[in-house]
Amino acid sequence: MNNKTKATLEISEETMHSLEKIAADSGKQLNELIEDILLKFIKEQKKPTVPAENKNIFPGVALIKNNFDVASVVPDMQKSLSESPSLHKPLIDTPSLTPVLKIQTTPVSAEKQARRAEIEVQMKEISILLTTAIEDDKRTEYSIQYAILANELESIT
């Protein structure tokens, strides 16, 4: 038996329109989409946390340490590439990720930067409310709001 609890949340019209569009594109009802987003958020919250020294400054971005080297990850890679009968020379002379990591970014508009900052502030406020909430209904409501803001923040970037 699947018990459901009703929750009310306040979101901007822009967020509501984007959620409705995503729901329509995926063929889901809006309630199902919000429930999926919330469940995804809850599962991510249950994952083990990374020690503070390894946390990334930028959420969602994996940092590669300065001493990272392809050869250290796959030591026989250079040898297997050079011995391949179909190759006349190794594909990689010096293992390095430098060419792979060149990322072309387009400048972000001032409007998007302002909206991003606004969302981040709201997320910080909601995370404080989440940690201090005593009632389960309030936690659920704050979790939904946080998940929606996180989704909107991800769509901006």
Please give the pLDDT value at position 47: 66
Q: Comparing 9-18, 30-39, 73-82, 139-148, which segment has the lowest mean pLDDT?
A: 73-82
| Alpha-carbon span 17 to 10, nearest angstrom | 13
Domain boundary assignment for the chain? 13-49+107-156, 65-100
Alpha carbons 72 and 42: distance in angstroms, whole number:
36
Note the pTM of the prediction, 2 decimals.
0.35
pLDDT at 90 over 50: no
Q: What backbone phi and psi angles, to 5 degrees, belong to 63?
A: -95, 140
Query: Measured between alpha carbons, how far is residue 48 from residues 80, 94, 149 in Å?
Result: 37, 36, 22
DSSP assignment letter at 10: -
DSSP 8-state secondary structure symbol assigned to residue 3: -
